Each structure stands twice: as structure tokens, then as C-alpha cells.
Structure 1
Amino acid sequence: MVDEAIVQPNIKEKVEVRKVLYKVVKRLIDILGGLVGCVLLVPITVAVYIARKILKEDDGPMFYEQLRLGKDGKHFKLYKYRSMIIGADEILKEYLANNEEARIEFEKNQKLRNDPRITKLGNFLRKTSLDEFPQFINILKGDMSLVGPRPIVDREVKLFGDKMEIVHSVRPGLTGYWAANGRSDTTYEQRVNMEAYYAENFSFSLDIKIILKTIKAVFEKEGAI
């Protein structure tokens, strides 16, 4: 008869070894992906610079930095191409104060389908997800991973409730289970559940499925903001 006291520790040890191996290999893949992404970032940045000049939307920095919450709840600077006009926060406050329907939508989903802050170029960058491309820098730095829960801002913590701890147990990602499965077509509650699901069930096979779905969604512009 097999001694359960011996079998159970062995199973736990194997699970832990697999987790460590997953994290090491995933980080190596992130570094490789980050390097490739940063190389591609150069011509894309040139194209964005030219487009900003042509559309006369160059009245502010090309890049946008925002503090987001990463692994273990630590803050980091997330990089994006600027897709909003200067003074966007003040414009949002005024817009929500004068538009009850929009205020309810924003409180529920933390975003607006018809956002008055987004520029013409910004709208294109968001629909194609190109606005997120500078985050390959974050991936190379180790702030983010290619796949993981999307990083949030401080005001969103309360919306995650008791699922916040498990979500913050992994690195945030450029794409993730929620981002690849509807994104703008889901409620915030659904987002929370999807992000928590990934954090509890991460694996190489799930990562591959998410990456393939993301590529498909980007080309078909599914769920773009």
C-alpha cells in the first residue's frame, strides 16, 4: 500500500517545480518578445510621428506615461502612444458632469464607447491596438509579460474586491484572457472574473491560445476600444 504522506509531498514538489520552470521559460520568452517588439517600435514610432504632423495632432508628447499596478501591487510607469488630447482628465470630468448616461457607463465599465478625449489618430491607434505597442519596453524591463491580466490604475482596485490579490500574484500582460475574449464587449465584472481565472490557471497552452486569439482579434478589430 502506498503511503499517502509520501505521495502528496511528491505531487506538491512536482507542481512547484513546474511553476518555477514556467516562470523562468516565460521570462526568457518575454525578453525575446520584448527585443523583437522594441525593434518594430522604431519604424512604427516614425510612422506615428509623421501621422501626428499631417493631422496636426502634435501639440503634446507622442508618448503617454501612466502609473499602473503590477505584480504584488507595485507601481510602474506604463508606456503608450498618446491617443487623447491634452487636458483629457479635465475634459472627462466636465463631460461626465454634464452627461448622466455617460457617467453611469464610465462608472460601470471604466471606459466610454464614444470618448470625447480621443483624437483621430488616437482612434485609429486604439482600433488597431497600436497604442499599446510601446509596452514592449515594459516587457523588456520586466514590468510586464506578453500574457497576463491587463494592468490597472489605483481607482480600479476596489472593483476587483477579493480577487485583487490573486490577480496581482502574476505579472500584468500586453494581452490576456480578458483582452483576447471580448475586451470592450464585456462588463467590468466579467473582466474581473476573466483576469482572476488566468491568474489561477496560467499555463503555456493557455498563453498560446490567448496570443493566437489576440492576433485574430487585432486583425479583425474585435473588442477594440
Structure 2
Amino acid sequence: MGLRRHSRPRSTASRYRTAALEQLWRAPTAQRDLTDHALPVRRDAHRTPPLVVLTEAMGMAVPAWAVLAAREQPVALPTAVLAALVWAGVRTVRGRWASGPPRTAAGAAEVLGDWLVFVGLLAVAWAAAGHAVDPTAALVSAAPGAVVAAAMTSLLRRRARATHRRPALRVLVVGDASGVETVTRALDSRTQREGYAVVAAVSVGAAEPEHELPVTGRLGADGADDDVSTVLSGAYAYDVDLVLVAPGPLLSGDRLRRLGWGVHDGGMALCVLSALTGIAAARVRPESVAGMTLLHVAPPLRRGPETALKTVLDRSGAVCGLLLLAPLLLAVALGVRLSSRGPVFHRQIRHGRHDRPFTMWKFRTMVVDAESRKAELTVFNEGAGPLFKIRRDPRVTAIGRMLRRTSIDELPQLFNVLRGDMSLVGPRPPLPEEAADYDDRERRRLAVRPGLTGLWQVSGRSDLSWKESVSLDLWYVDNWSLATDMNLLARTVRAVTDGRGAY
């Protein structure tokens, strides 16, 4: 039942991509000589510019000298020079300036870790020097250097991502109709950012996939000798980089194993879809037992040191945010008060962790009688699921439209974070009527504190469908970590600046 055509040779470019994938995943494959096809590497593209190194060193030395001199410390200049050298040494030893593709860890978390190591080394030097410098002054003088380093790290990450940006991997999906649908729908989702493009499919069984994909061949219900030739013919015809197999009742066990042998022997990279969904790779540990591959899944973080540290960071972040943004908050409050009749703040009952109601604060962005006019606008509702949203809501004031687009109207929720009702990062807090309509799956969103920002905000906000929003929140509930929170806070800045999906 395979295609009646000869398998054409792979192109040189596709062989490069396949070799890179196999090296990344360490997939078992036939031995091939790739010595004559070395991938070109743009070394200068990801080398850390000397100006960045100098900027970080000066960013540590100059503020340190200024603070220590202002505090009349006796060795201000030597201490500042020593601090710059130690900081440069810490960054170098920990590989922050090494060449290579962009890493995925949050830049702010990296800098914080380096700074703590740096402070520890300075404490040793301070003790060895006989307490020549006031330790409080030394800590204060070292703080601006970390801020400069975080800014430089962010710039390097953007530059590295732009340099290493590659076209999406061309994927051939092999599976029954439901498996092909699942993979194609997930990889075509607006929230998917991994760079996979499904270009064709090989169907298993008689059912036809609903998705409009080229079907290059069909595998019968029972294993056949032409399984491998059918898959490889489709892979070569569409010059794919990866064969992604979605196992099912008709494609499992020995048949799947033999297909894997043939795909690898044909020079293709292979990936097998797991039945586990919504689980971060960091929570999964593979183990081989009695010839079986077992996947150990760690439970979600609900208690322990990391959750306690998240609470501390939430409260301290809320305090710092309120202090730093106090002038902006006062200006916005005055603008809301003078632009339209009504109170400055809008208070709403929302449901938080374990379905407990709390009062959430926002700047008022609508007219005073907005709630009473909601019923007459129901026919214009553009919100997904139980959400009520209208892109051009006539109840929104002029200044309210600007506040919503920039998300400044959400800033009073820092008071909710300070009180412990909310977190800086988490799922969107639902209204009582929304929570009342939750099914068991959706109610799991209430297992953690709701957040000021979250995956839903950095992935499209109101442009997302209800199913996409729920899936993102559930992923966060089960897989959150401090590194994830740091990454989402950084992405929130970009999302707010962009303004898409905010209305």
C-alpha cells in the first residue's frame, strides 16, 4: 500500500539537519560517514563582544567606587577594582561569556546566582583583609553591577536567538487519524513556539484524518513489509527533517520497533509521541527495566523550600514594585479620577487558591454603570468559553483603553500579591460565575494562587481560545518552577510592550 515511486536521495541540506537532530537526541542509527559534510559554523556570530565584558566590569567598578567613596571608605578605588576583577572571574568561570547557542535558563536567575557567589567571595576577601571595608556599604555598592549584568545578559540572549534562529523542522506524522489530528492541531497552535511544521502524514488504518494534510501513503491495519518503504517514500518526497510517530492500537510493540529500525537505517531522525501530555520534560526521568522503558514522573511542586521562596519573592517583589511605581500609580489614579465620573479603583470578587473568594483591585477602565449595561451587550460577546470580552467595548473610557492596552490597569493587584491573595505569576483569577461553570479539569487551575501575569498573558491574552487558555494555565499549575516564573516575568515585559490581545 506504499507509494509507487522510487525513494529519491536526501539533499545535502536535509542531511545536515538530520545529523544535527540525531546528535541532539542521541537516537540509535546506522553508522554514516559525515566527515565530508561538516556544518558551517559562524563562530563570530555568538562570540561575546569585548564591549559587553568591559561594560559589565565597569558597571560593577564605577558604582562600587562611587558608593564606597561617598561612605568615606579608606580603600574605595582598590576595592572597586578588586570587585570588578572578581565579578569578571565569576562570570567567566561559570561560562556566562562562553560562545555557543542561546541557553534556555532565565537570565535574571543566572545573574542572581552569579551575584550570590560573588558576594561569598567578597566576604572571604573582606575577612582576609581584616574587615577594612564596611560590609553594608560593600553590599550596596555591588547591587548596581548585578542590574547592569542582567541588562547585558538580556541583550546577549536576544542577539544569540536572532543569530541561531532556524527555519521550522519539517515533520512527517505517522499514525492513525486521531493521532495525526492530535499532533497537527498541537503543532499548529498559536501557543506553540517550538519550531515544528507538519508538512505531510502517513495514515495508519482506514480512517481519514480530518486535517487538510497531504497523505503520502497508508499503512494497513496489520503489519506489512512495506511499512518502512511507505514512510521513507513520503519522507523523501517532502524532504522532511523528522519522522514523528504517534503510536496507537495499530502501531505499537514490535511493529513500531521495526519501523524505527527502518527509519534510522534510511537516514531519518525519529521521534515517538508519548501519551503523557502537559508534563514538562524536567519532571520526567526515563529508566530501562526488564527491556521496558519506564518514565518516572515527579509530582508538581506544592510545598517545600521552592514554594516558600516563591512566597518570599512574591511579597518582596510586590513591595519593590509598589515603591518603584508609586509616582506612576499616583499619576494614573489622578488621570482616572479626572477623566470620568466614578471611583479610581474597580474592585471585583475573584476566586483564588482552593476556590477561596477575594477582592481583586484594578484601576477603573469603564464607566460607572458598566455592570448594568452588560446584559444588553451579551450579543456582542467575543470572549471564549465563560469569558465576557468585546474588542470595542463601548463601556471602556478613553484613558481606560490606554490602560488596558499597556496592562497598567492591573498594577493595583500588587496589593493583592502583598496580602497573599495572588502571586506575581500564576493562572488568571476567575470571576465567581466563571468558577461555578468549571468542570473537574478546569477546576485544577485553582490548585495554586492566581497570578498578576502568566502563560496566558505572554501567549496572546484575549486572542486565545478558551481551550488554549485552560491548557496553558494547567501546564503552569503542574510544571511551575522559580526559573519558569523568572522567564515569564521577562516575557511579560515584551507582551505588555507589544499589546496584542489586550482589550
Q: Pick closer, same or farther for the CA change 1:17–1:166 going to 2, 3 Å.
A: closer
Residue 3 of structure 1 is matched in structure 2 by: none
Shift of residue 107, structure 1, vs aligned partner: 6.4
Shift of residue 212, structure 1, vs aligned partner: 1.4
Q: Which amino acid is 1:124 matched to?
A: M
**How far apart in 1 are the matches of 2:473 and 2:384?**
19
**How far apart in 2 are the matches of 1:30 and 1:17?**
16
Q: Pick closer, same or farther for the CA change 1:49–1:205 going to 2, 3 Å.
A: closer
| Number of aligned positions between the proteins | 208
Q: Pick closer, same or farther for the CA change 1:18–1:148 going to 2, 3 Å.
A: closer
Q: Which has the higher contact order (CA 8 A, sep 6+)?
A: 1
Is this contact kept in 2: 1:88–1:117, CA < 8 A? yes
Query: Are residues 1:33 and 2:317 paired?
Result: yes
Is this contact kept in 1: 2:301–2:307, CA < 8 A? no
Query: Are residues 1:48 and 2:326 paired?
Result: no
Residue 343 of structure 2 is matched in structure 1 by: 61
**How far apart in 2 are the matches of 1:183 and 1:206?**
18
TM superposition score normalised by structure 2 = 0.39
Q: Which amino acid is 1:24 matched to?
A: A
Residue 126 of structure 1 is matched in structure 2 by: 404
Shift of residue 18, structure 1, vs aligned partner: 8.8
Matches within 5 A, 1:185-196: 185-196=463-474
Structure with the greater alpha carbon radius of gyration: 2
Residue 112 of structure 1 is matched in structure 2 by: 390
Is this contact kept in 2: 1:41–1:134, CA < 8 A? no
Query: Are residues 1:178 and 2:462 paired?
Result: no
Q: Pick closer, same or farther for the CA change 1:125–1:17 going to 2, 3 Å.
A: closer
Gaps of 5+ in 1: 1-10
Query: Are residues 1:83 and 2:365 paired?
Result: yes
Shift of residue 41, structure 1, vs aligned partner: 4.3
The superposition leaves residues 158-203 of structure 1 with CA deviations (integer Å, 9 ceiling, x where unpaired) of 5542223321110100001111111121011211111111101111
**How far apart in 2 are the matches of 1:74 and 1:215?**
29
1:146 is paired with a residue whose SS is strand
Residue 72 of structure 1 is matched in structure 2 by: 354
Q: Pick closer, same or farther for the CA change 1:196–1:159 going to 2, 3 Å.
A: farther
TM superposition score normalised by structure 1 = 0.84
The superposition leaves residues 90-109 of structure 1 with CA deviations (integer Å, 9 ceiling, x where unpaired) of 1121233xxx3x14x24644
Q: Which amino acid is 2:391 matched to?
A: R
Deviates most, 66-75 or 154-163: 154-163
**How far apart in 1 are the matches of 2:456 and 2:337?**
34
Residue 502 of structure 2 is matched in structure 1 by: 224
Q: CA RMSD, aligned part only? A: 2.4
Query: Are residues 1:202 and 2:202 paired?
Result: no
1:168 is paired with a residue whose SS is helix
Q: Pick closer, same or farther for the CA change 1:52–1:171 going to 2, 3 Å.
A: closer
**How far apart in 1 are the matches of 2:476 and 2:425?**
10
Shift of residue 29, structure 1, vs aligned partner: 0.5
The superposition leaves residues 41-72 of structure 1 with CA deviations (integer Å, 9 ceiling, x where unpaired) of 42123212332355x31x11101111100000
Shift of residue 222, structure 1, vs aligned partner: 2.6
Matches within 5 A, 1:142-153: 142-153=420-431
Residue identity over aligned pairs, in percent, reads 36
**How far apart in 2 are the matches of 1:70 and 1:187?**
22
Is this contact kept in 2: 1:148–1:198, CA < 8 A? yes
Is this contact kept in 2: 1:167–1:196, CA < 8 A? yes
Is this contact kept in 1: 2:336–2:364, CA < 8 A? no
**How far apart in 1 are the matches of 2:483 and 2:437?**
29
**How far apart in 2 are the matches of 1:107 and 1:27?**
31
**How far apart in 1 are the matches of 2:445 and 2:300?**
19
Is this contact kept in 2: 1:217–1:223, CA < 8 A? no
Residue 4 of structure 1 is matched in structure 2 by: none
Residue 106 of structure 2 is matched in structure 1 by: none
The superposition leaves residues 66-122 of structure 1 with CA deviations (integer Å, 9 ceiling, x where unpaired) of 1100000000010000001011011121233xxx3x14x246442111111110010
Q: Pick closer, same or farther for the CA change 1:82–1:142 going to 2, 3 Å.
A: same
